[in-house]
Chain A
Amino acid sequence: MMELSMSLLLPLTFLLPLAGTLILSLSNGRLGECASATVGVTSMGLAAIVTVLIALQYIAEPQAYGVTLWRWISVEDFQPSIGLALDGLSLTMLGIITGVGFLIHLFAAWYMQGEEGITRFYAYMNLFVFSMVLLVLGDNLLLLFFGWEGVGLCSYLLIGYYYEHSANGWAAFKAFIVTRTGDVFLAIGMFLLFFELGTLDIAEILRRAPEVWAEGDPTVELAALLMLGGAVGKSAQLPLHTWLADAMAGPTPVSALIHAATMVTAGVYLIARMNGIFLLAPDILELTGIIGALTLLMAGFAALAQTDIKRVLAYSTMSQIGYMFLALGAGAFDAAIFHLMTHAFFKALLFLSAGAVIVSCHHEQDMRRLGGLWRQLPLAYAGFIVGGSALAALPLVSAGFYSKDEILWQQLASGHGGLLLAGMVGAFLTSLYTVRLIILTFHGKPKSDNARNAEAGRGLVHGVPLIVLAVLSTFLGAWIDPPLENLLPAPAEGEESWHLVLELVAAGVAIAGIAVAAWLYLRRRGWLAKHTSMGWGAWLWTFWNHAWGIDELYDRVLVKPYRGLVRILRRDVIDGACNLFAKLAWLLHQGLSRTQTGKLRFYATSMVAGATLILLALALMP
C-alpha cells in the first residue's frame, strides 16, 4: 500500500511541472497573462503538495524508495532504467526545488505582470523544475545527466529571456558554453565509471566502487576529478565561474530559482550523491575544498566592488557555494547539504526582495542610483535585513549562522586550518558586502527619480513568498533538519570544547564585519569614495569590479586565439576545391534559370524545337 502510493507520488513530482510546460507551450500563445501564470503556478503548487505528501510518508517510514518506470534501451549489459530513487538527500533537494520553486513561481506572477511572453516564461520555468526534479530523483547517472542538461537548457533559455537585447543573448550563450565545458567533464566521468564498473546505477556504483578500487587509485581519482569538473561548471566555482554574474541578465525570479536556490547547487548535490567515489579519492576531495575556498574569497572581494544589486547577489551566491564546496572538501557532506538548504531560503529571499526593489524602482538595479528606499519599501527592506543577516551569518537569530558555523567547525574538526582561515576571511567579506548592499540600496538619500518614485508592490503573490522565505531564513529555518542520518558518510569528530570557541570567533567575525561596514558606509562614505576613485584603490576597485579580471584573462587566453585560429582556417584550400562543385552547380543553375523567362511563346517554341529534333533524329536513323 505504502509502496504503491509512493510509486504514484514520485513520478507526479516531475509530471506535474511537465504538464504545465506542455499546456503552456501547446497553447501557442492563446493563453493570456493571467491564465499562463495560473497554469504555471498551479502545476508548481500541486508538485509542492505532492512533495509534502512524500515527505510525510518518508518521515513515517524512513527508508529508501525506488520506482522503476521503464528502460531507456536495452543493449546486453547496458540497461539504463528510467528509475526514481528517494532517500533523505533527494527528499531534501526535492523539498527545496518544489517548495522554494513554488514560492518563486508565485512571486514571479507579480514580478512578470505586464511583461511580454508570460506563457513562454512559465513554460521554461516549469520545464526547469521538471528537469531539476529528474536530476535529483534519478537513480542512475544517465537520468541525472538528462536532468543536468535539461536545467542547463532552461538556464540558457531564461537568461536569454529578454532576447531583444543582444547582450542578454550573449550572456545566455556564455552560460551555456561555460557550463557545457563542465558537462563534458561530467559525461566523460560517467563514461569512465561505466567502463570500469559496468553500471550507471548510482547505488550500484557506490556499492561496487570500494570493491574495485583502493583508496587513492588513479582511476577513481580521475573519475572524481571529472565529476568535480562537472560540478564546478554547474555550480559556478573557479575556474568555470564566469558565467554566473552575466546570467543575471534573466528576470529576477529566474536568478532566484535557477542561479541561486536550485540549479547552481546541483554540483554540490552531485558530489554529495557520489560521496563514495570522492571518499576514495582524498586528493580530489582536498581539491574540492581548495576550489571552494578560492572561490569564496574571489567572489567575496568581487562582490565588494559591484554596483548592480543582482551582481552582488550573484557573487555572493558563488561564495556561498564555495562554502558548500569547502564543507564537501572536509568530508562534511551533511553540513554542505544543510547550508545548501538554508542558502536556498535566504538567497531566494534576497533575490526576490531585490526583484521587488527593481520592479518598484522602475527597473533600476544600479545601487548608485538607488538609496533611501527603506521607508517606501518596508517589505523588501525587511526581506533584505532578514536575508542579509542570514547571508552574513548573524549569530543565533539567522539560519545562515547555524549552517555556516557547521561548515567552519568541520574544517577545524578535520584539521584544515588554512581553509578555516579562508572561511573566516570570507565570512568577514560577506558581512562587509551585505551591509554595503543594504546601506547603499535602502539608506541615505534617493539618488535618482526612479528611486524617489518607488512604488511598493502589493497583493498576496508579492507578500506571501517574501514573508514565508523570511521566516525560513531566520533560526526557524535552521530547525528544519534534513533527514540525512546514516545516508552520508559521517564527518570527522573534533574536540567539542573547541566548537564553542569557534562559534564565538565566527560570531565575532560576522559582527565585526557588519560593524566595520556600517561604520565605513554610514560615517566614512567620503573617505571611501576618495580612496576608491584614485591611486591603487581605484585600480583595486576596477580589478575587483571585473572579478579579478578572469573574464579578460579567458578572453585573451581562449577566445581570441580561437578566433584567430578560426580566421586562419576560414581560407581553406580544400574548402575551395569542395566549393568548386557548388560554384559549378550554381553556374548551371544560373544558365537554366535564364531559360525560365515566363514567356509562353518561348516555352512553346522550345518544346517544338525539342520535338522536331527528336523526330529528325528518329527519321534520319538508319
Chain B
Amino acid sequence: MEVAFYLSGLVAVLATLGVITNTNPVHALLYLIVSLIAVAIVFFALGAPFAGALEIIVYAGAIMVLFVFVVMMLNLGESVVAQEKAWLTPKAWLGPSVLAAVLLLTLIATLWLGDIGKVIQGDTLTAKEVGTTLFGPWLLIVELAAMLLLAALVTASHVGRVSPPEKPAMNQETGARKEHS
C-alpha cells in the first residue's frame, strides 16, 4: 500500500508537471488524465475507494471529456503549439514558479514543524459510511451542491450561447450588448 502511494504520487506530480509545461493542449489533457488517475490510485491506497472511483468516473471521465470536446470544437492545431512556445519564455514562467515554490516550501515547512504524528493505516472507509454521512447530517449541504450544479447549468447554457451570425448588424450589436451587461 505504501509503495502504491509513493509510486502513484510520483506519477501524479510528474504528470502534473507535464500538464503545465506542455505546449500542445491535447497532450496536456492526456497528462492531466494520467495525473487524475494517479491521484485516484492514491485514494485507493489510502483506503478511500469511493473517492477513488468518483475521481475516475467524474473527473477523469466526465469533466475531462468536456475539456476534450471543447478542445475539439476549437480545433486547436499547430498554430496554438507555436503560440504556446512563444508565450512560454523564461521571463514568463520564472517569476510565478519561484513564487509557487516559495509557497510550497512554506507549506512543507509548516507541516514539518507541526508535528502531527498521525499515520494512515489504509483501513477502507466504505461507500456506505460516506453515504450515511452525506444523507444524514450533511443533507442540507448536498441540497446546496445540487443547487450549485443547477446554477452552473443555467450559467453555462446562457454564457455559452453563440448569437446567430445572420442577423441585421445593428440588432446583433445591441443583442450582444444586452447579453454582455
Assess the A608–B106 pair: CB atoms within 8 A: no
What's the Cα separation between A605 and B99 when bound, in Å? 8
In the bound complex, residues from chain B placing their C-beta under 8 Å from that of A616 are 102, 106
Assess the A612–B99 pair: CB atoms within 8 A: yes
- Picked from A601, A615, A618, the residue with its CB within 8 Å of the CB of B103 is A615
In the bound complex, residues from chain A placing their C-beta under 8 Å from that of B95 are 605
What's the Cα separation between A615 and B103 when bound, in Å? 8
Q: Give 8 A-B pairs besides A605-B99, A619-B109 with Cβ atoms closer than 8 angstroms.
A: A608-B103, A612-B102, A612-B103, A615-B106, A615-B107, A616-B102, A616-B106, A619-B113
In the bound complex, residues from chain A placing their C-beta under 8 Å from that of B96 are 601, 605, 608
Over the window 605-618 of chain A, the binary record of Cβ atoms lying under 8 Å from chain B Cβ atoms (1 yes, 0 no) is 10011011001101
Q: List 19 A-B contacts (CB under 8 A).
A: A601-B96, A605-B96, A605-B99, A608-B96, A608-B100, A608-B103, A609-B99, A612-B99, A612-B102, A612-B103, A612-B106, A615-B103, A615-B106, A615-B107, A615-B110, A616-B102, A618-B110, A619-B106, A619-B110
Assess the B110–A608 pair: CB atoms within 8 A: no
User: Nearest chain-A residue to B96 (Cβ)?
Assistant: A605
In the bound complex, residues from chain B placing their C-beta under 8 Å from that of A612 are 99, 102-103, 106
User: Nearest chain-B residue to A618 (Cβ)?
Assistant: B110
In the bound complex, residues from chain A placing their C-beta under 8 Å from that of B99 are 605, 608-609, 612
Best-surrounded residue of A605, A609, A611, A612 (most CB of chain B within 10 A)? A612
What's the Cα separation between A609 and B102 when bound, in Å? 10
- Judged by DSSP, the binding face of A is helix
In the bound complex, residues from chain A placing their C-beta under 8 Å from that of B102 are 612, 616
What's the Cα separation between A615 and B96 when bound, in Å? 17
Taking beta carbons and an 8 Å cutoff, which residues of A are in contact with B? Answer: 601, 605, 608-609, 611-612, 615-616, 618-619
Shortest C-beta distance, B9 to chain A (Å), equals: 23
What's the Cα separation between A343 and B124 when bound, in Å? 107
In the bound complex, residues from chain B placing their C-beta under 8 Å from that of A619 are 106, 109-110, 113
Taking beta carbons and an 8 Å cutoff, which residues of B are in contact with A? Answer: 95-96, 99-100, 102-103, 106-107, 109-110, 113
User: Nearest chain-A residue to B92 (Cβ)?
Assistant: A601
What's the Cα separation between A611 and B103 when bound, in Å? 8
Best-surrounded residue of A601, A605, A618, A619 (most CB of chain B within 10 A)? A619
Shortest C-beta distance, A372 to chain B (Å), equals: 55
What's the Cα separation between A612 and B109 when bound, in Å? 13
In the bound complex, residues from chain A placing their C-beta under 8 Å from that of B109 are 619
What's the Cα separation between A615 and B99 when bound, in Å? 12
In the bound complex, residues from chain A placing their C-beta under 8 Å from that of B103 are 608, 611-612, 615
Shortest C-beta distance, B63 to chain A (Å), equals: 21
Q: Which 10 A-B pairs have the closest CB atoms?
A: A612-B103, A615-B106, A619-B110, A616-B106, A619-B106, A612-B102, A608-B99, A605-B96, A619-B109, A609-B99
What's the Cα separation between A615 and B107 when bound, in Å? 8
Shortest C-beta distance, B107 to chain A (Å), equals: 7
What's the Cα separation between A608 and B113 when bound, in Å? 22
Shortest C-beta distance, A614 to chain B (Å), equals: 10
What's the Cα separation between A611 and B99 when bound, in Å? 10
Shortest C-beta distance, A610 to chain B (Å), equals: 11
Shortest C-beta distance, B82 to chain A (Å), equals: 20
What's the Cα separation between A619 and B106 when bound, in Å? 7
What's the Cα separation between A618 and B110 when bound, in Å? 9
Shortest C-beta distance, B130 to chain A (Å), equals: 31
Shortest C-beta distance, B180 to chain A (Å), equals: 15
User: Nearest chain-B residue to A617 (Cβ)?
Assistant: B106
What's the Cα separation between A616 and B108 when bound, in Å? 11
Shortest C-beta distance, B98 to chain A (Å), equals: 10
In the bound complex, residues from chain B placing their C-beta under 8 Å from that of A615 are 103, 106-107, 110
Shortest C-beta distance, A603 to chain B (Å), equals: 13
In the bound complex, residues from chain A placing their C-beta under 8 Å from that of B106 are 612, 615-616, 619
Shortest C-beta distance, A613 to chain B (Å), equals: 10
In the bound complex, residues from chain B placing their C-beta under 8 Å from that of A608 are 96, 99-100, 103
What's the Cα separation between A605 and B92 when bound, in Å? 12
What's the Cα separation between A605 and B95 when bound, in Å? 9
In the bound complex, residues from chain B placing their C-beta under 8 Å from that of A618 are 110
In the bound complex, residues from chain A placing their C-beta under 8 Å from that of B107 are 615
Shortest C-beta distance, B109 to chain A (Å), equals: 6
Shortest C-beta distance, B41 to chain A (Å), equals: 29
In the bound complex, residues from chain A placing their C-beta under 8 Å from that of B100 are 608
What's the Cα separation between A612 and B103 when bound, in Å? 5
What's the Cα separation between A215 and B97 when bound, in Å? 97
Shortest C-beta distance, A13 to chain B (Å), equals: 49
Shortest C-beta distance, A379 to chain B (Å), equals: 52
Shortest C-beta distance, A344 to chain B (Å), equals: 55
What's the Cα separation between A616 and B101 when bound, in Å? 13
